Amino acid sequence: MSSGRRAGLPHVEAVTPAVLVLSGPVPRGEVPRLCAGVRARLRATGAGVVVVDLGGLGRAGLGTVDLLARLELTARRAGGRVRLRDPDPALLALLDLAGLRFETERQTEQREPPRGVEEAVEPGDPAP
């Protein structure tokens, strides 16, 4: 008897956070559209989190702080939250000065291997 459910992992998509990619300066007029996008992504995924990718944003200023505060407020009102991906350290400092705390995704440092990867040591290699 078929239950109508597909084989595999049926709930994976429902718990995977959506990603909103910001690139270049964001005009103030785009803020309402981006907030609506956060609401829609939270509803669509049911994950409770929207990841905002800031890697292509460039230099961030107070306009970016305002945008992120509005996105977080929108997410909170919709029962979710925002997580930042690849935030610039200067932006994190501005957010801290404004008293805004965001969850951030852990980024692998330049010289640090990804988790679960061990570096091989050859005999005769100098100690680090």
Q: What is the pLDDT of residues 38-72, one digit of tens each?
A: 999 999 988 899 999 999 988 889 999 999 999 99
pLDDT range class, residue 127, cuts 50, 70, 90: low
Number of domains in the chain: 1
The whole-angstrom separation of Cα 34 and Cα 57 is 14
Per-residue pLDDT reduced to its tens digit, 61-119: 999 999 999 999 999 999 999 999 999 999 999 999 999 999 998 654 544 544 555 55
Q: What is the pLDDT of residue 15?
A: 63
Does residue 43 belong to any structural domain of this protein? yes
Helix segments in the chain, DSSP class H = 12-15, 31-45, 62-77, 89-97
Q: Is residue 53 part of a domain?
A: yes
30 falls within a domain: yes
Instruction: With a cut of 70, say whether residue 9 has pLDDT above it.
Output: no
Residue 12 belongs to some domain of the structure:
no
Q: What are phi and psi of 55, to 5 degrees?
A: -55, -35
85: in domain:
yes
Summarize the chain as % helix, strand, coil (round to 5).
35, 15, 45
Q: Which domain holds residue 24?
A: 17-104
pTM above 0.75, yes or no: no
Residue 96: give its domain's CATH number.
3.30.750.24
